[in-house]
Amino acid sequence: DAGVTQSPTHLIKTRGQQVTLRCSPISGHKSVSWYQQVLGQGPQFIFQYYEKEERGRGNFPDRFSARQFPNYSSELNVNALLLGDSALYLCASTGPYEQYFGPGTRLTVT
What residue ranges bind another protein (CB under 8 A)?
4, 33, 35, 40-45, 48, 55-56, 58, 88, 90, 92, 97-104, 106
| Sheet of 5-7, strand order | 5-7, 19-24, 74-78, 64-68
Amino acid at 28: G
**Shortest CB 6 distance to another protein, Å:** 8
**Shortest CB 22 distance to another protein, Å:** 15
Q: By C-beta, is 45 or 64 nearer to another protein?
A: 45
**Shortest CB 74 distance to another protein, Å:** 15
27, 35, 53, 65, 104 from 57: Cα distances, Å? 24, 10, 11, 10, 19
Q: By C-beta, is 64 or 101 nearer to another protein?
A: 101
Contact 33, 101 (CB under 8 A): no
DSSP 8-state secondary structure symbol assigned to residue 1: -
Q: By C-beta, is 51 or 80 nearer to another protein?
A: 51
